[in-house]
């Protein structure tokens, strides 16, 4: 059931809810959802139901991403349709909506006071958060971040908050569950070939994070010459033109396939079925690592946030990514050497 409000669209009926622990993590990226999986699992373990409800933004695709997990009961989406809910009165409207769910705990993995106001107004008795600025006035837990800790990364802040409140994180590596049927569908997409397979995550949320079409073509030429792999181009709808251009460069070769604009878990399963995933700082890269695929991340315009041991982090020396630039050639060579080294053990 889709219930609409002036400021929010929540994809669940609160009257049928029996859960009691709410986690608010409003950072919008797919990667943000993946990075916080260890924290969500740890909090779910403290609940009587071993589950949480997650309040986040629709762009995170959390409803689809977490649909096959056992620690998330429901996902509530904040509507992106209007921006007015970020004000003080928006907090009260959100609180009015949350009240019927009967949550008895709220964990706010964000520094904004609007969410602490909303949970207070909703009558949630236990409210835990970072305590940044006047958010602290609406929290019930005295265990908040120190002044120095408030400048930590998003992941480090969440980890520190749980530590301060004696919630152990037993599995610190993000691990995403995917149903067997979804994995089988991905395997059929790859076919019966036993060749070395590479998932190429060509999408990016920002132009500065995009390594670039020419660089990917250059890398594929190296890979094709030395390893003869099967390559899957993975991306969203906005990456279709780049995927088509790359495919056309190689004359629509049978070894080069496209997985563009697929449901996120199907794309995740395809990446997880490959021997390695290479890509920009993008959601698919983080998803691939979370399902157990070794990854090479090319961090062009952003510092790496995740410390996932399955992601080898490569940072170009500058943000201009033309093939004539020596740094880009060096990055392509470094990525290729990393893949070649990994392939020897397959």
pLDDT digits (tens, 9 = 90+) for 183-221: 888 888 888 777 899 999 998 877 778 888 999 999 999
What is the pLDDT at residue 5?
Answer: 38
Please report where in the chains the tokens 């837990």 appear, as a residue.
141
H or E segment to which residue 4 belongs: strand 3-4
Over residues 157-176, mean pLDDT: 94
pLDDT-wise least confident of 33-42, 160-169, 305-314: 305-314
Query: Among residues 342, 329, 261, which one has the least CA distance to residue 296?
Result: 342
Question: Would you list the domain boundaries of the chain?
Answer: 3-164, 180-343
Asked if the model's pLDDT at residue 274 lies above 90, the reply is: yes
Number of residues that this document lists for the chain: 346
Q: What is the pLDDT of residue 330?
A: 73
CA distances from 174 to 2, 83, 108, 213, 295 (A): 30, 31, 19, 29, 14
Q: Is the pLDDT of residue 322 over 60?
A: no
Closest to 41 measured CA to CA, from 29, 52, 56? 52
Q: How confident is the model at residue 169 (pLDDT cuts 50, 70, 90)?
A: very high
Question: Which pLDDT score, from 0 to 100, does residue 305 have?
Answer: 74
Residue 80: its pLDDT value, please?
56
- Cβ neighbours, 10 Å, residue 130: 24
| Beta-bridge partners for 77 | 56
Do domains 3-164 and 180-343 share one topology? The answer is yes
Query: Percent of the chain scored above 90 by pLDDT?
Result: 60
pLDDT at 254: 92
* Span 51-76, pLDDT tens digits: 999 999 999 999 999 999 999 999 99
Please give the model's pTM, rounded to 2 decimal places.
0.85
Residue 18 is predicted with a pLDDT of 41
pLDDT score at 88: 63
At residue 3, does pLDDT exceed 60?
no
Residue 7's pLDDT is what? 40
Asked whether the predicted pLDDT for residue 10 surpasses 90, the reply is no
Question: Would you say 149 and 129 are in contact if contact means Cβ atoms under 8 Å apart?
Answer: no
Q: What is the pLDDT of residues 218-273, one digit of tens each?
A: 999 999 988 999 999 999 999 999 999 999 999 999 999 999 999 999 999 999 99
- Other beta carbons within 10 angstroms of residue 82's beta carbon come to 12
Q: What architecture (CATH level 2) is domain 180-343?
A: 3-Layer(aba) Sandwich (3.40)
Residues 109-127 have a mean pLDDT of 95
The CATH T-level fold of domain 3-164 is Rossmann fold (3.40.50)
């Amino acid at each position: 059931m889709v219930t609409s409000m002036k400021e929010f669209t929540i994809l669940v009926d609160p009257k049928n809810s029996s859960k009691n622990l709410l986690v608010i993590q409003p950072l919008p990226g797919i990667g943000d959802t993946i990075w916080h999986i260890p924290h969500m699992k740890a909090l779910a373990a403290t609940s009587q139901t071993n589950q949480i409800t997650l309040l986040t933004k629709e762009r995170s695709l959390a409803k689809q991403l977490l649909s096959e997990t056992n620690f998330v009961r429901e996902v509530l989406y904040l509507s992106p349709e209007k921006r007015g809910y970020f004000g003080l009165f928006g907090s009260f409207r959100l609180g009015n909506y949350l009240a019927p769910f009967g949550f008895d705990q709220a964990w706010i993995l964000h520094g904004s006071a609007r969410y602490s106001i909303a949970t207070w107004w909703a009558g949630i008795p236990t409210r835990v958060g970072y305590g940044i600025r006047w958010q602290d006035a609406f929290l019930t837990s005295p265990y908040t971040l120190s002044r120095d800790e408030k400048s930590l990364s998003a992941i480090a802040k969440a980890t520190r908050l749980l530590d301060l409140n004696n919630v152990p994180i037993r599995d610190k590596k993000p691990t995403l569950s995917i149903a067997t049927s979804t994995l089988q569908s991905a395997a059929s997409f790859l076919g019966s070939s036993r060749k070395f397979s590479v998932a190429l995550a060509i999408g990016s949320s920002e132009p500065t994070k995009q390594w670039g079409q020419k660089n990917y073509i250059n890398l594929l030429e190296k890979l094709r010459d030395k390893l003869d792999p099967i390559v899957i181009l993975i991306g969203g709808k906005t990456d279709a033109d780049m995927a088509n251009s790359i495919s056309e460069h190689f004359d629509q070769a049978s070894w080069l396939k496209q997985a563009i604009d697929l449901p996120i878990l199907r794309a995740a399963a395809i990446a997880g079925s490959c021997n390695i995933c290479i890509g920009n700082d993008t959601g698919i890269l983080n998803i691939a690592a979370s399902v157990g695929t070794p990854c090479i991340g090319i961090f062009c315009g952003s510092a790496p946030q995740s410390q996932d041991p399955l992601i080898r982090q490569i940072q170009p020396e500058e943000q201009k990514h033309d093939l004539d630039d020596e740094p880009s050639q060096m990055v392509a060579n470094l990525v290729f050497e990393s893949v070649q080294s990994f392939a020897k053990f397959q």
